[in-house]
Amino acid sequence: MSKKEKKEDIENEEVGTSQTETTEVEEQTVEEKLQSQLQQEKDKFLRLFAEFENYKKRTSRERIELFSTASEDVMKTLLPVLDDFERALSHIDEDKEAEELRKGVLLIYQKMVNTLELKGLKSIKTEKGDVFNADDHEAITQIPAPTEDMKGKIIDIIEKGYKLGDKVIRFPKVVIGQ
């Protein structure tokens, strides 16, 4: 072999080695790109999955809330009827001759209240002498307090308040002392 041929062989070997190294580097780069793409796709999948789970939970909560308050309109329309029953009972109590009538009205009133309570209606407990709270009561008017300790407290209850589940559908209407 001549010197020229030996020199060409050495150059060819060097080129082959550098091509092999280049190919290995390219393969590593491609592999790294594929790994990064795979990681990005996994992240996208996890985010999408988490988003879907949150959607399912939210719609489930909304559905439960809708069912619990679906009868709100019906309850609101029945509240004046309850008020009328209570007024009738208070007037019948004054008339001692209408004892049988009072028993009948009371029976119907209790049946109606029990039925509405089964559907989630609850009366808000408000007593005369309670401290007035604007978040929990609706003040109709203010009158001079009969005593000094009744200032800022409830003097009279005009209408009872009601809740449907945990939601207030009518605040108690009260008169407060000033």
Give per-residue pLDDT as tens, 68-88: 667 888 889 999 999 999 988
Question: What does the pLDDT look like over 111-152, one tens digit per residue?
Answer: 999 999 998 899 999 888 888 888 889 999 899 888 888 888
| Residue among 170, 168, 140, 166 nearest 154 (CA) | 140
Amino acid at 90: S
Structure tokens, 29: 């780069």
Q: Is the pLDDT of residue 105 over 80?
A: yes
Question: What is the pLDDT at residue 115?
Answer: 93
- Please state the rounded mean pLDDT for residues 58-70: 82
The verdict on pTM exceeding 0.85 is no
pLDDT tens string 6-54 = 555 555 555 555 556 667 777 788 889 999 999 999 999 999 999 999 9
Give which of 57, 68, 90 is closest to 165, Cα–Cα. Answer: 68
Per DSSP, the three-state class of 134 is coil
Q: What is the pLDDT of residue 64?
A: 81
Kindly state the average pLDDT of the residues 97-116.
Answer: 90
Residue 175, class by beta-carbon neighbours within 10 Å (0-12 exposed, 13-18 middle, 19+ buried)?
Answer: middle
For residues 65, 117, 75 and 68, what is the CA-based torsion angle, rounded to 10 degrees?
10
The more confidently predicted of residues 100 and 162 is 162
pLDDT of the residue at 4: 60
pLDDT given at position 10: 56
Residue 1 confidence (pLDDT):
57
- Closest to 138 (Cα-Cα) out of 124, 121, 120, 151: 124
